[in-house]
């Protein structure tokens, strides 16, 4: 019987922390816990205030531990999405035994050479987040597009071309400070665009050419795949939080109310709202007895203006990538900000590409009773777990959930032994490599060592539950029916 192990992952977003726990049995992935809670101390997906960021993460971990009866010692966590640049690098090696077939170990050695030899301008401010092999050549004659093509060939030398992704070092240090404050160790740090792609894209899309557009709260990003290889990544500092801010300042609401209104009534393309555009949202103030009225069409116009700016910036990034005319499978849009009604239609209209919504692929995992795990906002969490499970040694918890037949025995033992209040033991930091098809290997950095359901769609009922109860009750049912039937 295959042994069970557990992986805990935290997606630190600008507006929320998504904490998930998965039970891994062989190749089977079962999500046993997923919950989103408001974040703090995070801006543009970067931890800028470790002390403030630690508090909500600590509470999120405690809630998971209490519900699952486990102790989380390590976390898989994502690298910042913003302020990441890509550069081109290459490496060449003369083979000691040119008559033998090229092995995967030699390819891995070549990759490490490309990273180690790349000249980082200022190592005190910038670091390499990862690298992706773009192509290989052997004896200057045989050109191979991927690792699987070059492994097994025979040549005197081997040369590889790579995309190197670099980012600021300070956010990584802040992540370590935050986790040390919480009392958990970083198990892996993953480049999230690659993780999200593993969660929502299929092999045909990555092979034929696709642009994965992720709209988060503070950052929107573009990740382009072709030939099953990550070819381009870029990001912009705009997202769903900017839309909320526009509603807040234009209408004079507080941030919470503006966010709830956006979630419940937010839509792009006001001309396609049909009869909904004639409706009025009434917000009652229980303290003063007054009320305000907001036409749905006017709200949609506010949202539409900012959304078009974000899409324009995304399309500019696609054009600059050089792959604009090579995206046979068009665009896949995901992330919490993609929940706006009519956004896929607007993106298709403005870009001319085929557009689909990117939900986590349920064939890659199972989940029972985890609300929200099938939503677009959970894509990064699922992707990190799928990447981390490749390391068969990784186990992020101290105690597995107690079974019914031994719960009493554990309880008796607990009464006899003093409670263990020690901090988590030291653990190695594993920074996720981006090399295609490679089992994850530790990228050790002594300076970073620290103490150790289906595709749930955003329905009207779930949206309505998030809205302040100050909305006029009679309007709720009418608007709900209209939203469900709107094109």
The β-bridge relationship of strands 85-94 and 355-357 is unpaired
Residue 484: exposed, middle, or buried by beta-carbon count in 10 A (0-12, 13-18, 19+)? exposed
In the predicted structure, residue 473 carries a pLDDT above the cut 60: no
DSSP string spanning 146-188? SHHHHTT-B-SEEEEEEEEEEEESHHHHHHHHHHHHHT-EEEE
* pTM listed for this prediction: 0.81
Write the DSSP string, 344-391: HHHHHHHH-S-EEE----GGG-EESS-TTTTSGGGHHHHHHHHHHTT-
- What was the pLDDT predicted at 431? 57
Mean pLDDT of the chain: 83
Taken in order 167, 52, 197, 384, the sign of the CA dihedral is positive
Q: Look at the block and give the residue holding tokens 């001319």.
A: 352
Please give the pLDDT value at position 232. 96
284 Cβ neighbours under 8 A, 6+ residues apart: 290, 291, 470, 471, 472
> pLDDT confidence of 300, banded at 50, 70, 90?
very high
**What pLDDT, on the 0 to 100 scale, is given for residue 385?**
96
Give ∠ CA 429-432-435 in degrees, rounded to 5.
145
Q: What is the pLDDT of residues 250-299, one digit of tens each?
A: 998 999 999 999 999 989 999 888 777 678 888 887 777 778 889 999 99
Q: Using one digit for the tens of pLDDT, what is the confidence trace for 438-472?
A: 433 333 343 333 333 433 333 333 333 433 443 44
Which segment of 57-71, 142-156, 471-485 scores lowest on mean pLDDT? 471-485
> Coil, strand, or helix at residue 83?
coil
Count the alpha carbons within 13 Å of 388 in the hemisphere toward its beta carbon: 36
Residues 6+ apart with CB under 8 A from 96: none
Is the CA virtual torsion 47, 48, 50, 56 positive or negative?
Answer: negative
């Amino acid at each position: 019987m295959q042994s069970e192990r557990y992986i805990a992952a935290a997606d630190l977003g600008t507006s929320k922390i998504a904490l998930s726990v998965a039970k891994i049995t062989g190749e089977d992935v079962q999500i046993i816990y997923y919950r989103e809670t408001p974040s703090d101390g995070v801006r543009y997906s970067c931890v800028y205030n470790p002390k403030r960021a630690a508090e909500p993460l600590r509470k999120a971990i405690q809630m998971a531990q209490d519900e699952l009866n486990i102790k989380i010692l390590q976390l898989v966590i994502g690298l910042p999405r913003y302020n990441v640049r890509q550069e081109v690098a290459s490496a060449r090696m003369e083979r000691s035994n040119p008559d033998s077939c090229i092995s995967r170990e030699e390819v891995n050695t070549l990759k490490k050479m490309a990273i180690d030899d790349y000249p980082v301008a200022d190592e005190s401010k910038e670091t390499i987040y990862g690298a992706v092999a773009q192509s290989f050549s052997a004896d200057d004659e045989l050109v191979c597009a991927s690792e699987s093509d070059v492994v097994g060939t025979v040549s005197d030398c081997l040369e590889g071309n790579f995309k190197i992704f670099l980012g600021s070092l300070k956010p990584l240090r802040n992540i370590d400070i935050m986790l040390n404050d919480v009392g958990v160790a970083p198990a892996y740090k993953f480049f999230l665009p690659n993780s999200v792609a593993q969660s929502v894209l299929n092999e045909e899309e990555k092979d034929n050419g696709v642009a994965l557009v992720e709209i988060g709260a503070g950052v929107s990003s573009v990740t382009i795949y072709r030939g099953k290889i990550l070819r381009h990544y870029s990001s912009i500092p705009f997202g769903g939080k900017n839309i909320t801010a526009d509603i807040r300042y234009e209408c004079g609401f507080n941030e919470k109310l503006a966010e709830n209104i956006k979630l419940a009534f937010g839509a792009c393309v006001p001309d396609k709202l049909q009869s909904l555009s004639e409706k009025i949202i009434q917000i009652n103030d229980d303290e003063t007895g007054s009320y305000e009225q907001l036409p749905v069409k006017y709200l949609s116009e506010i949202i539409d203006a900012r959304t078009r700016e974000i899409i324009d910036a995304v399309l500019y990034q696609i054009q600059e990538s050089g792959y604009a005319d090579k995206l046979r499978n068009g665009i896949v849009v995901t992330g919490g900000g993609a929940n706006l009604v009519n956004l896929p239609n607007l993106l298709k209209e403005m870009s001319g590409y085929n557009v689909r919504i990117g939900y986590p692929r349920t064939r890659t995992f199972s989940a029972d009773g985890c609300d929200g795990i099938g939503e677009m906002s959970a894509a990064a969490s699922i992707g990190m777990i799928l990447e981390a499970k490749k390391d068969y040694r990784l186990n992020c918890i101290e105690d597995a959930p107690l079974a019914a037949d031994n719960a009493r025995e554990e309880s008796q033992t607990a009464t006899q032994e003093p409670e263990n209040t020690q901090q988590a033991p030291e653990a190695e930091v594993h920074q996720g490599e981006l090399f295609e098809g490679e089992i994850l290997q530790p990228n050790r950095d002594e300076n970073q060592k620290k103490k150790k359901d289906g595709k749930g769609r955003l329905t009207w009922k779930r949206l309505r539950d998030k809205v302040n109860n100050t909305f006029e009750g009679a309007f709720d049912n009418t608007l709900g029916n209209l939203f469900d039937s709107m094109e």
